[in-house]
Amino acid sequence: MFKNFFLALLPLLATSPAWPQAPDPQLLAEINKIKAIDNHSHPPKLVSPGEKDDDFDALPCDPLEPTVPTTVSRPDNPQYIAAWKALYGYKYDDASPEHVKELLETKKKVMAEQGDNFLTWVLDQLGIETELANRVAMGRGLKVPRFQWVPFDDALLLPLKNSDMGSDSPDRVFFYMRETHLLRRYLDDLKLEALPANLKDYTAKVITALLEKQKREGAVAIKFEAAYLRSLDFGPSEPAELVQRIYFHYAKEGVPPKADYIRLQNYLFRYIAREAGRLGLPIHIHTGGGCGSYFMLSGSNPVLLESVLNDPALRKTNFVLIHGGAGAFTKNTSYLLMKPNVYTDFSEQTWLIPTRALSQVIREWLEWYPEKVMFGTDLYPNTPEINWEEIGWQTTQSGRETLAIALTGMMEDKEISRERAVELAHMVLHDNAAKLYGWMR
């Protein structure tokens, strides 16, 4: 019986459509003309000699125990030589020391010629109209409207002593230390010498005050990297009176039990989400794989956010599942896009996953809810040879080609017309983000 069933399947398997190996050339050419909105990035500011930029990420990965990069992001990826050619007129097909030395001199010359316009010049080369900059604070060269600010607000979840919270791994010891320092910076910005004595004052005088300040100073969304610190399970919802005693007791002294602290964080996250919705600030939240060999993948599944995404009190808050559950949970993301206030992007995946494999992920999303899918690079500062601009070039090229392959497959399978493919490309690369952030003309 099973043999006969298998034999009956063979004709279907033989005729099932294969994934395209390459994009339709005409479609790719059209896609390459679209000026994109980069939904997620970590661009550096311009620095003076001896100055350090420590604001491009609240939780930088560089100090962690080194891990081997994926094949796509290794320095020998030929796309980086292609990036040098496109950006700096590199004349060689290799990365020999003498040729790379010449490249670095060319970089210095271009940066000197461009001056404070250098960061905008890079966006022009990448075909990016607007870049959402995930940074603690903006800085020199990150000019509006080309760069739009997305500040980090995990520190607002962590008003108490964090010594027990970081005990899960060496990475978390470092990350909680960073968040403790960031909350102190935010309190200084608000001219508060100490934490308010009770939860009501903390939410009003710190959380609401900071979110309103960030909005006034140009924030277009706020970012959470909570999966680096804890599980994304923020449920169930609890009334303030059930958690206020935790804050009241441990804000004065002592280290809260981990279970109690998690309950307080869950309450604070929902409070922040409601306030963000009131202010029109979408919440960006990291989902899927992250850096560091101790990263806890099981806690980064976007499905863990369901209690938040299904909370009727939060339906006026838009949530963006940054990275779309990269690597492990992309199919879960497809279903979550059904929720009216949920969006995603494919940032990070463009330098983690080969282009053809990623095209399958994007195609599935487009076959579910194409209005909810956005482009992103997740570019970040790196080495002098392969820095944020080379990573930006690689991820932008990969993102465009990936999108073209996905749409080519949909055209070949008669799911969409060529005209619809072009329309979807504009939506993913630009229009979906423009609508979400209120920039659509």
For residue range 257-311, list pLDDT tens digits in order. Answer: 999 999 999 999 999 999 999 999 999 999 999 999 999 999 999 999 999 999 9
pLDDT band at 10 (very low <50, low <70, confident <90, very high): very low
How far out from the chain centre does Cα 274 lie?
A: 21
pLDDT of residue 18: 62
What is the rounded average pLDDT for all residues in the chain? 94
Q: Which residues of 143-157 are buried (b: 16+ CB within 10 A; e: fewer)?
A: eeebbbbbbbbbbbb
For residue range 87-103, list pLDDT tens digits in order. Answer: 999 999 999 999 999 99
What are 312's two structure tokens?
Answer: 């009727």
pLDDT of residue 16: 43
pLDDT of residue 72: 87
Q: Once rounded to an integer, what is the mean pLDDT over residues 324-331? A: 94
For residue range 67-93, list pLDDT tens digits in order. Answer: 888 888 899 999 999 999 999 999 999
- Maximum Cα interatomic distance, the chain, rounded to a whole number of Å: 76
The two beta strands, 128-134 and 36-41, are: parallel
The pLDDT of residue 373 is above 60: yes
The pLDDT of residue 12 is above 80: no
pLDDT band at 222 (very low <50, low <70, confident <90, very high): very high
Q: Once rounded to an integer, what is the mean pLDDT over residues 199-223? A: 98
Q: Once rounded to an integer, what is the mean pLDDT over residues 188-215? A: 97
pLDDT of residue 131: 98
pLDDT band at 2 (very low <50, low <70, confident <90, very high): very low
Q: Once rounded to an integer, what is the mean pLDDT over residues 117-130? A: 98
Q: What whole-number distance in Å separates Cα of residue 161 and Cα of residue 266?
A: 16
For residue range 394-409, list pLDDT tens digits in order. Answer: 999 999 999 999 999 9
What is the pTM for the complete model shown? 0.94
How far out from the chain centre does Cα 358 lie?
A: 16
Q: What whole-number distance in Å separates Cα of residue 150 and Cα of residue 282?
A: 10
* Domain boundary assignment for the chain: 27-48+102-436
Task: Let me know: does 310 contact 338? Beta carbons within 8 Å.
Answer: no
Q: What whole-number distance in Å separates Cα of residue 288 and Cα of residue 329?
A: 6
For residue range 243-259, list pLDDT tens digits in order. Answer: 999 999 999 899 999 99
Which CATH number is 27-48+102-436 given? Answer: 3.20.20.140
How are strands ordered across the β-sheet holding 319-326? 222-224, 283-288, 319-326, 342-345, 373-374
The pLDDT of residue 170 is above 60: yes
Task: Let me know: does 23 contact 405? Beta carbons within 8 Å.
Answer: yes
Q: DSSP state, 206?
A: I
Q: What whole-number distance in Å separates Cα of residue 399 and Cα of residue 37?
A: 12
Q: DSSP state, 204?
A: I
Backbone angles phi, psi at 135, to 5 degrees: -150, 150
Classified as helix, coil or strand, 94 is: coil
pLDDT band at 17 (very low <50, low <70, confident <90, very high): low
User: Which residues fall within 8 angstroms of residue 49, CB to CB, at 6 or more apart?
Assistant: none
Task: Let me know: does 326 contact 361? Beta carbons within 8 Å.
Answer: no
Strands (E), 216-318: 222-224, 283-288
Integer CA distances (angstroms), 334 to 51, 302, 433, in order: 43, 10, 18
What are 341's two structure tokens?
Answer: 């206030």
pLDDT of residue 441: 67
The pLDDT of residue 410 is above 50: yes
